[in-house]
Amino acid sequence: MKKWIIGLFSVLALAGCSIGTDMTNTPTKQVEAYLDGYNQLDNSVLDDLDTLLTDTKYTVEQKSRYKELMKKHYKDIKYEIKDEKINGDKATVEAEIEVKDYSKILSSDVIPEELKDEEGNYSEEAYYDYQLEQMEKVEDKVKYTVTFYLTKKDDKWVMDDLSESTKQKIHGIYVY
């Protein structure tokens, strides 16, 4: 009986120690949760996409097409955490991400002749339709090494704002 009570207290003591340690509160786990949010199409990811689309010149139909394209893109993002470094209340997490490469299409300033009229002018709407068609066909992927920066606030690791180039890499639109 005495051994059983000692064993029970030992188990409770170990459980109590592990309760105080939040294994999801690490820089790496925060980055994984952030990137998994893209794969799972979290509400915050979709809200950010909607916000991005309000600032475009796309038509309603084009916005819908772009949103569907990006949703497929987000689900296909692959990543691997490569390194984590903690220095006091600051941390960096290095990840390799693999995304579809839309940069060639978006950086091209070549306008197909069939989109131009007799004077060489083209409709912006027709050009955006063309771009979306090309993006929907993309199969090429590209890998980037991305560094995420985190700060510990109130005993919780929080990701710092992403740089514009990091956002572009995640969306597959980064142009060197």
Domain boundaries, the chain: 24-171
Distance between CA atoms of 37 and 33, rounded to whole angstroms? 6
Q: Could you confirm whether domain 24-171 is CATH 3.10.450?
A: yes
Query: What percent of the chain has pLDDT above 70?
Result: 88
Per-residue confidence (pLDDT) for residue 18, from 0 to 100: 39
Q: Write out the two tokens for 60.
A: 């309603």
Does pLDDT of 13 surpass 60? no
Confidence of residue 113 (pLDDT cuts 50, 70, 90): confident
What mean pLDDT comes out for the span 150-158? 96
**Given the DSSP bridges, would you call strands 90-100 and 78-87 parallel, antiparallel or unpaired?**
antiparallel
pLDDT for the residue numbered 22 = 63
Q: What is the mean pLDDT of residues 123-134?
A: 92
Least reliable range by pLDDT among 26-30, 106-110, 123-127: 106-110
Q: Is 161 helix (H, G, I), strand (E, B) or coil?
A: coil
Could you give the count of Cα atoms lying within 13 Å of 54 in the half-sphere of its Cβ? 5
Q: What is the mean pLDDT of residues 82-97?
A: 98
Give the closest residue to 97 by CA, choosing from 155, 44, 159, 31.
Answer: 31
pLDDT for the residue 11? 35
How does DSSP assign 27-76, residue by residue?
Answer: HHHHHHHHHHHHHTT-HHHHHHHHHHHHTS---HHHHHHHHHHHHHHHHH
- Is residue 62 a contact partner of residue 129, using CB atoms and an 8 Å limit? yes
Average of per-residue pLDDT values in the chain: 87
Q: What pTM was estimated for this model as a whole?
A: 0.81
Q: Is a pLDDT exceeding 90 seen at residue 20?
A: no
Which among 93, 76, 97 is positioned nearest to 85, based on CA atoms?
Answer: 93
Token output for 55 = 């600032």
**pLDDT band for position 137 (cuts 50, 70, 90):** very high
Amino acid at 18: S
pLDDT confidence tier of residue 168, bands split at 50, 70 and 90: very high
Q: What is the pLDDT of residue 12?
A: 35
How far apart, in Å, are the Cα atoms of 151 and each of 15, 84, 87, 94? 28, 13, 10, 15
